[in-house]
Chains A and B, each alone.
Chain A
């Protein structure tokens, strides 16, 4: 830093210039600091407080201690929605990672066509989630949907994806796989950063294709794999829009179809808050979700220390 006074070793004295710089620095940071206080720190404290109250927006919040949390633990609807969400995440995340990795590995090998295919896989991500929900509601239609038509061609009698409680979630997972394009792009970028020398060195050592994949490719992209594991898990635990579009928000649809089987945690939370005005209970649900996400992420970070290879790391 080319200031007038060269920073002395040890403790630096703050010059008037440094103080002036710091003042300006906080001026640049000011919008974020205000935003942080108003839209993050404040609301976090407020929602924690609300989670110990009963609040319907019209009457002032009434302190009820741990009642919301007790109710949370014994409410079968909450348990159901949490179960559905975990079921979804447990299948969605590994499937997205596996298929994306397969596609990225293929993409890496096709040279000039890569850009074209990359676009094809990414376009579904650009589609508004509401439109995705609508589109798949029709594609998954039992009699006339494209998916069951295709299954019919190979002699499979397709299930009732949108009405049979047992098949609603597999249908949702199928839909979610359509939008895996960003994971493909992340993997492709990671694959292209693997130095070619490593493969050549491994080949000289006599490593076959599988050995090269296992001991060069996988470790070298483990950072990207880990990143997508965490990001996809967090996102899948907060799944809302596509499923809400398909099965909720309209009394008639909600009764006709088996919306129980499609209730995700955040959908249930949203309904508690903005349909039934149980703001206190919904706040408690939000904090439970936060804690669950934190725990799962921590476990994943711990596991990753064993599996993720970082370049330049001494072991």
Chain B
């Protein structure tokens, strides 16, 4: 497409740069831009950041106001009404849903992390006939729209008598998942093979190689897989919508949808309850992000995963 790039792709020679003709930093563009420019950039980002943050600020503030004040102008929670949360608590089984989301999320994340690591080790360590074809198939499953398998998968769980239980929300994860197999395989391939072969000579079995050596070494990648899947499970509405009937089994998003339909436009417009529920579903994800920020950013940057 361009010429400048093709000319420029020669590998940079270390040590030569000091001798290079001095280019004014501002002209080089990608060095440190002049102060006034940086002030401008920061100002633009601050503007964008305010726009991105205002919905959060409004959500939290409105959830702490009385019903008549939910839509009041301003961003301050006045009159301050933390009772909304108690009201929401009494109106619907929020604590139960919260617990369900934690249990399902941990089960889904643990299942997919363990099984994907096990399978990824198979792809990374062994050479065997059909490996590339099978790995191609793994990647191909990422392309398939969930709508294609949604109905037969429902029929499977239904035949097993497991609809209206939480099992379909996580049990499919026991068989590995393409994105995580891909991610963990990348990490495993970066480990030195000699290290494993030395252990083989010392008599370690393959499961021992996996469990005692590979597993601890790729811990950061395992955490990436775990937090991504936990987030995916925590925020999922579709599966609970398909499988859960009994309100006591609902996860938070499924419960929140009921709260909206019961107390929002469908009901008395008790928006303070709807908002308190929304905050309660969101806050754990925000905390998770701050705890595992590095893993999220790394996961997205290395695999291009969509949040």
Residues on A lying within 8 angstroms of B by beta carbon are 1-2, 18, 21-22, 24-29, 31-36, 38-40, 42-44, 46-47, 50, 57, 103, 106-107, 109-111, 113, 117-131, 133-139, 141, 143-146, 149, 178-179, 181-182, 185-186, 188-189, 194-205, 207, 209, 211-212, 214-216, 219-220, 222, 224, 227-228, 231-232, 234-235, 237-238, 240-241, 244-245, 249-250, 252-253, 256-257, 266, 269-270, 273-274, 279, 282-283, 285-287, 289-290, 293-294, 297, 306-307, 309, 311-312, 315
With a cutoff of 8 Å between Cβ atoms, the chain A residues found around residue B236 in the complex are: 241
B53:A120 contact, CB within 8 angstroms: yes
State the CA gap A286–B107 with chains docked (Å).
Answer: 29
Contacts of B271 in A (CB 8 A): 138
User: Which B8-29 residues sit within 8 Å CB-CB of chain A?
Assistant: 8-9, 12, 17, 20-21, 23, 27-29
Contact of B257 with A249 in the complex, beta carbons under 8 Å: yes
Q: How far is the CB of B129 from chain A (nearest CB, A)?
A: 7
Report the minimal beta-carbon distance from B36 to chain A, rounded to whole angstroms: 13
Assess the B145–A293 pair: CB atoms within 8 A.
Answer: yes
Contact of A269 with B147 in the complex, beta carbons under 8 Å: yes
CB proximity to A under 8 Å, residues B121-139: 121-123, 125-129, 131, 134, 137-138
Instruction: Contact check, B128 vs A22: say whether CB atoms are below 8 A apart.
Output: yes
If A29-B134, A110-B38, A141-B71 touch, whether A123 touches B264 (CB-CB below 8 Å) is: no
Given A28-B119, A185-B300: A307 in contact with B1 (beta carbons within 8 A): yes
Number of interface residues of B (CB under 8 A): 117
- Residue B41, interface by CB 8 Å: yes
Partner of B155, one of A46, A122, A207, A211: A46
A204 touches B172 (CB 8 A): no
B296 beta carbon closer than 8 Å to chain A: yes
Question: Bound complex: CA of A45 vs CA of B3, how far in Å?
Answer: 49
User: Contact between A31 and B174 (Cβ–Cβ < 8 Å)?
Assistant: yes
Per a CB cutoff under 8 Å, which of A28, A129, A286 touches B151?
A: A286
When distances are taken between beta carbons in the complex, the residues of chain B under 8 Å from A124 are 52, 55-56
Contacts of B150 in A (CB 8 A): 273, 286
Once A26-B128, A178-B52 are accepted as A-B contacts, the answer to whether A196 and B30 lie under 8 Å apart by CB is yes
Main secondary structure of the interface of B (DSSP, over half): helix
Check B123–A38 contact: CB distance below 8 A: no
**By DSSP majority rule, is chain A's interface helix, strand, loop, or mixed?**
helix
> A44 to chain B: which residues have CB within 8 Å?
144, 148-149, 152
Nearest neighbor of A209 in chain B, beta-carbon distance = B29
Contact A29 B123 (CB under 8 A): yes
Kindly list chain B residues whose C-beta atoms are within 8 Å of the C-beta of A270.
238, 241
In the complex, identify which listed stretch (B78-86, B87-95, B215-223, B285-293) lies at the interface while the others stay far away: B285-293
In the complex, what residues of A have CB within 8 A of residue B118's CB? 28, 31
Name the CB-closest residue of A to B174: A31
* Chain B residue at smallest Cβ distance from A23: B128
Q: Does B247 contact A (CB under 8 A)?
A: no
Interface residues of B in 227-271 (CB under 8 A from A): 231, 234-238, 241-242, 252-253, 256-257, 260-261, 264-266, 271
Residues on the B chain within 8 Å of A198, using CB? 4-5, 8-9
Contact B4 A215 (CB under 8 A): yes
Contact of A203 among B5, B29, B137 (CB under 8 A): B29
CA distance A90 to B20 in the complex (A): 46
**Known contacts A117-B45, A128-B281, A289 near B126 by CB under 8 Å:** no
B282 within 8 A of A: yes
Q: Is the CB of A289 within 8 A of B119?
A: no
Assembled-state Cα–Cα distance A270/B146 (Å): 11
A104 to chain B, nearest CB (A): 11
Question: In the bound complex, do residue A219 and residue B149 qualify as a contact, i.e. CB atoms below 8 Å apart?
Answer: no
* Residues of A with C-beta under 8 A to B297: 118, 122, 185
Question: Which of A28, A117, A238 is close to B121, meaning CB atoms less than 8 Å apart?
Answer: A28
User: Given A44-B152, A134-B264, A269-B147, 5 more contacts at CB 8 Å?
Assistant: A47-B148, A131-B282, A135-B58, A197-B8, A204-B23
Q: Can you list 9 A-B pairs with a CB-CB distance of less than 8 A?
A: A39-B153, A50-B152, A111-B32, A130-B281, A135-B59, A186-B301, A198-B8, A270-B238, A279-B151
Q: Whole-angstrom distance from the CB of B113 to the nearest CB of chain A? A: 13
Please state if B4 and A207 are interface contacts (CB–CB under 8 Å): yes
Distance in angstroms between the alpha carbons of A266 and B151 in the assembled complex = 13
Are B257 and A245 in touch, CB under 8 angstroms?
yes
CB pair A122 B4 closer than 8 Å? no
A39 to B170, CA, bound (A): 13
Inside 8 A of A290's CB, which chain B residues have their CB? 144-145, 147-148
Q: Which A residue's beta carbon lies closest to that of B285?
A: A126
Residues on B with C-beta less than 8 A from A189 are 300-301
A205 to B277: give the CA distance in the assembly, Å: 58
CB pair B265–A120 under 8 Å, yes or no, is: no
Contact of A201 among B4, B154, B238 (CB under 8 A): B4
